[in-house]
Structure 1
Amino acid sequence: MLKSLFNWKVLLNLVFAIVVFVGLVWLTFRWLEYHTRHGQEVPVPNVINKSVHEAVKVLDDAGLEYEVDSFKYDPKYRPFQVLQIYPSPGSRVKDGRAIRLVVNPRNWAPVAIPDVINKYSGLAFQRLDQVGLKVGDTIFEPSIQKEAIIRLLYKGNTIKPGTLIPRFSTIDVVVGSGPMRNISIPNVVGLTVKEARQAIARSLFEVGLVEHEDGSKDESDIIYYQDPAAGDVRDQGMQIDLWASKRTPAELRAKVEELNSIYRMKIDTSLPPIHYEEVPNPSEPKINELTPVTPTAVPKKDNPKPEVVKSETSKPAATAPKTDNKAKTTNTTGNKPVTNTTQPSTQKPKAKKVVVE
């Protein structure tokens, strides 16, 4: 077996295989050297602070490729100024290597308008500030959504949520100030459903129930009845119900009368007006100033006040008026006449005292 291994034919085949293997390895490295341009390196030129157009021209002349990356806007630098370069200037790279340029954009990066429509104004302002937008003028407009965002304006034009505008742009907001009061309801009887919707929207109302006589949804049907009636006043945003038909209101007079009996309140003016008079309280008797008031004896308590005894020679009190028509009575048990001082006078008495003789 060893003798056959050292046969010249075997050795020749082994040498041939080794030569072929070495040749293939040499050819592979030569191909890689040619393909990768081994040893052909060029320095990266310094294009920082140049404009992007100048930097691209320099890189083309050096046989290098380039990639432009828009960095965040910095107002301290010129628009389209090269701020950074990768690899760094002076590095040696192969011919055809792509160089990355970081360029200052012309303006701030665009941001999308957030969806703040119909949101409370306080939360909407906070959301706009978070995305980098500034709120300019606040315009109040009548709306049933008080303190809610109705529209957003950018340079005087209405913008929708999702629109891209430069960051730190100033936008104006339209905020609802509450509904208007006492608006006259328009007359839409005789109009088509489509025309009635437009007239109701112009008057700041909303369309409520729309009942078609034939059950269809034809917008060309004619309105023959509405509720509330035309000329009534309502607040902004109130709904107006409509009844529509392909026939004219004159042909539906009976139907209109039927609806009037349901939705229109009738006031009977044939009844006499009602007068309201004040009825005196029977528990409180009327006091006639011309009728004298007879004082009543008040029962005395255990500790009565000292009585005032009037003698024959005593003079009447200074406050009591003198009268000539005093009623005199004769005491049946004695001979002395008794003067009755409790007889009221014709004038309205003041505070009286009970005098006992």
Structure 2
Amino acid sequence: MLKSLFNWKVLVNLLVAIVVFVGLVWLTFRWLEYHTNHGQEVPVPNVVNKSVHDAVKILDDAGLEYDVDSANYDPKYRPFQVLQVYPSPGSRVKDGRTIRLRVNPRTWAQIAIPDVINKYSGLGFQRLDQVGLKVGDTIYEPSIQKDAILRILFKGNSVKPGTRIPRFSVIDVVVGSGPMRNISIPNVVGLSVKEARVVIAKSMFEVGLVDHEDGSKDESDIIYYQDPAAGDVRDQGMQMDLWASKKTPAELRSKIDQLNSLYRMKVDTSLPPVHYDEIPAHQEPSYDPVPVAPIPVTKKEVPKPEPVKPEATKPAASTENKPKTPASSTAANTGTTHKQAASTTPQQPVQKPKAKKVVVE
């Protein structure tokens, strides 16, 4: 067994296999070096703040590929200005490497106008603000849809929902201000149904029931009757019913009289006009105050006190030298008491006490 392994033929085959393997490995690496440009590197040129057209030309001259990425619009930079380069400028890359350029677009990215037609204006304004649109002027227009958004204007032109415009654009919104009052009804008798629709729409009314005499839907039929009548006043948005036929109104006189009996009120002018007297507004009766006679006040007559006759007394000398007795002190106290009583009850006369006669022996 070992002897067969060291046979020269086996050794030659083994040597040939080794040479072939090494040769394949060497050729593989050589092919990779050639295919990948091994050792052939170029620096990334600095194209930041240049326009995208100039940056593309510089990269083409350097043998590099490029990929342009439009970032969000930034008004601080010029349109189509290169904001960033990857790999960074100065890095060494192989020939043919793709360089990514981040470029400022010309304007804001476009967005679709949301469907806010016939929606309440408060919710519509909020929806427009959410998508990045700014409401400029709010134009009010007579309409039965009060406070509803009727149209959206961009640069003076009406745009439909779904139209793409730049973000943060200024738009004008037309909002309904409510129906107009007391609009005169137009006369459409004698017109075709198609023409009548146009006249009614211009007068801010709507077409209601359209009765064709022959049951067809031909828009060329002539209107021979309308309700309400021409000249009446109605509010905006009211419906007008039409009766149409291929015949002329003169040929349909009996039909018109029949419709008049149903939709027109006849006023009997043979009766005398009713006269209404105006009744003054009810007023509360006013009463004059009754004079009240003053009540006479009767004063009570107070009897005058009778004068007290003086009695004979002794000479003053005897009287002064007379000692005071209890009787005199009692008289004095009594006089004081009578004075107090007189001050409290002025109605009764105060009688002075009579002096007593004292005999001194």
Task: Decide which moves more: 14-23 or 116-125.
Answer: 14-23
Report deviation, 1:271: 4.1
Report deviation, 1:26: 3.0
Paired with 1:275 and 1:85, the residues of 2 have a C-alpha distance of 96
Q: CA, structure 1 residues 265+37, in 2 after alignment: closer, same or farther (shift >3 Å)?
A: same
What is residue 144 of structure 1 aligned with on the other side? 144
Report deviation, 1:181: 0.5
What is residue 87 of structure 1 aligned with on the other side? 87
Q: CA, structure 1 residues 74+276, in 2 after alignment: closer, same or farther (shift >3 Å)?
A: closer
Paired with 1:21 and 1:263, the residues of 2 have a C-alpha distance of 110
AA aligned to 1:218 is D
Q: CA, structure 1 residues 26+232, in 2 after alignment: closer, same or farther (shift >3 Å)?
A: same
Deviations 1:84-137 (A, max 9, x none): 111111211111111111112222222222221111111111112112221111
Report deviation, 1:247: 1.6
* TM-score when normalising by structure 1: 0.72
Give 1:1-357 correspondences, 5 Å limit: 8-273=8-273
Report deviation, 1:253: 1.7
Report deviation, 1:274: 5.2
The unaligned stretches of length 5 or more in structure 2 are 279-361
Per residue, is there more helix in 1 or in 2? 2
Paired with 2:254 and 2:13, the residues of 1 have a C-alpha distance of 119
For the residue of structure 2 that corresponds to 1:255, the secondary structure is helix
For the residue of structure 1 that corresponds to 2:68, the secondary structure is strand
Percent of residue pairs bearing the same amino acid type: 85
The number of aligned residues is 278
Task: Decide which moves more: 248-257 or 12-21.
Answer: 12-21
Report deviation, 1:182: 0.7
Paired with 2:23 and 2:220, the residues of 1 have a C-alpha distance of 91
Q: CA, structure 1 residues 8+120, in 2 after alignment: closer, same or farther (shift >3 Å)?
A: same
Decide which structure has the larger Cα Rg and report it: 2
AA aligned to 1:192 is S
AA aligned to 1:31 is W
Report deviation, 1:191: 0.8
Paired with 1:228 and 1:6, the residues of 2 have a C-alpha distance of 123
For the residue of structure 1 that corresponds to 2:66, the secondary structure is strand
Report deviation, 1:35: 1.6
Deviations 1:210-233 (A, max 9, x none): 122222211111111111111111
Q: CA, structure 1 residues 33+269, in 2 after alignment: closer, same or farther (shift >3 Å)?
A: same
Report deviation, 1:31: 2.2
Paired with 2:189 and 2:21, the residues of 1 have a C-alpha distance of 101
Paired with 2:32 and 2:116, the residues of 1 have a C-alpha distance of 60
Paired with 1:188 and 1:5, the residues of 2 have a C-alpha distance of 119
For the residue of structure 1 that corresponds to 2:216, the secondary structure is coil
Paired with 1:46 and 1:159, the residues of 2 have a C-alpha distance of 44
Report deviation, 1:18: 4.2
Report deviation, 1:15: 4.2
Q: CA, structure 1 residues 7+224, in 2 after alignment: closer, same or farther (shift >3 Å)?
A: farther
Q: CA, structure 1 residues 41+275, in 2 after alignment: closer, same or farther (shift >3 Å)?
A: same
Report deviation, 1:185: 0.9
The unaligned stretches of length 5 or more in structure 1 are 279-357
Report deviation, 1:238: 0.7
AA aligned to 2:140 is F
Paired with 2:11 and 2:252, the residues of 1 have a C-alpha distance of 120
Coordinate RMSD, CA, aligned:
2.2
Paired with 2:269 and 2:48, the residues of 1 have a C-alpha distance of 95
Report deviation, 1:79: 2.1
Report deviation, 1:158: 1.4
Deviations 1:119-163 (A, max 9, x none): 111111111211222111111110111111111112211122222
For the residue of structure 2 that corresponds to 1:59, the secondary structure is helix
For the residue of structure 1 that corresponds to 2:190, the secondary structure is coil
Report deviation, 1:8: 4.7
Q: CA, structure 1 residues 7+190, in 2 after alignment: closer, same or farther (shift >3 Å)?
A: farther
Report deviation, 1:11: 4.8
Q: CA, structure 1 residues 240+9, in 2 after alignment: closer, same or farther (shift >3 Å)?
A: farther
AA aligned to 1:154 is F
AA aligned to 2:205 is F
Deviations 1:154-202 (A, max 9, x none): 2211122222222222111111110000111111111111101000001
Q: CA, structure 1 residues 5+210, in 2 after alignment: closer, same or farther (shift >3 Å)?
A: farther
Report deviation, 1:44: 0.9
Q: CA, structure 1 residues 145+5, in 2 after alignment: closer, same or farther (shift >3 Å)?
A: same
Q: CA, structure 1 residues 212+14, in 2 after alignment: closer, same or farther (shift >3 Å)?
A: farther
* TM-score when normalising by structure 2: 0.71
